[in-house]
Amino acid sequence: MAGTVNRVILVGRLGKDPEIKYTPSGMALATFSLATDESRKDSEGNRQQITEWHNIVLWGKQAEIAGEFLRKGKLIYVEGRLQTRSWDDAQSGEKRYRTEVQGNRFVMLGSRAEQGESPESPRASTAQPTRTSPDQPLEEEEDLPF
């Protein structure tokens, strides 16, 4: 199907430190939750803060950098694509689903003092986007307007 787009851009705070695992071939895998907030007015006109939680997955060098520098509460920018996995639950036999953002780039935001970093710590992941499937071409990185 030509003309479709699967691209996600989020700015939010980590809900927990990244969990780092390695595949049998030795490739790093980082998973963490990211919270985004939205403010809405309810039916009575009162402001309500709505938090949405997103499951983020990073691979390779991106995952290693995330494991080293990302911590719970840090503000980050992440971009990638949505992917839904399915499996059969071993206990109940039910089909389970999990939608994740397969991240291909992230940037740590906020001041260095807020981030708790030393001046020489990197703020943006310098690793090239990792190809997560052979049929997905790597895109040239675009300049962001901010």
| Tokens describing residue 130 | 């990792």
Q: How many residues does the chain have?
A: 146
| Tokens describing residue 87 | 């499996």
- Evaluate whether residue 86 is within a structural domain: yes
- Evaluate whether residue 146 is within a structural domain: no
- Evaluate whether residue 119 is within a structural domain: no
Total tally of structural domains belonging to the chain: 1
Q: For 31-87, write each residue's pLDDT tens digit.
A: 999 999 999 988 888 999 999 999 999 999 999 999 999 999 999 999 999 999 999
- 3-state SS, residue 50: strand
- Evaluate whether residue 141 is within a structural domain: no
Q: For 116-129, write each residue's pLDDT tens digit.
A: 554 444 444 544 44
pLDDT bin (cut points 50, 70, 90) of residue 133 is: very low
Q: CA-CA distance, 123 to 121, in Å (whole number)?
A: 6
Q: CA-CA distance, 119 to 36, in Å (whole number)?
A: 27
Question: What CATH number is given to the structural domain containing 91?
Answer: 2.40.50.140
pLDDT bin (cut points 50, 70, 90) of residue 2 is: confident
Q: CA-CA distance, 39 to 33, in Å (whole number)?
A: 20
- Listed in sequence order, the DSSP H helices in 32-132 are 60-69, 112-115
Tracing tokens 């780039």 back to the chain, one arrives at 105
**What pTM, to 2 d.p., does this model score?**
0.72
Query: What is the pLDDT at residue 1?
Result: 63
- Evaluate whether residue 22 is within a structural domain: yes
- Evaluate whether residue 101 is within a structural domain: yes
DSSP H or E segment with residue 24: none
Query: What is the pLDDT at residue 78?
Result: 98
- Evaluate whether residue 142 is within a structural domain: no
Which of 146, 95, 104 has its CA nearest to residue 125? 104
- Evaluate whether residue 3 is within a structural domain: no
| Tokens describing residue 83 | 């992917």
| Tokens describing residue 111 | 């001041």
Which of 1, 2, 8 has its CA nearest to residue 82? 8
| Tokens describing residue 15 | 């809900």
Domain housing 12 = 8-39+48-114
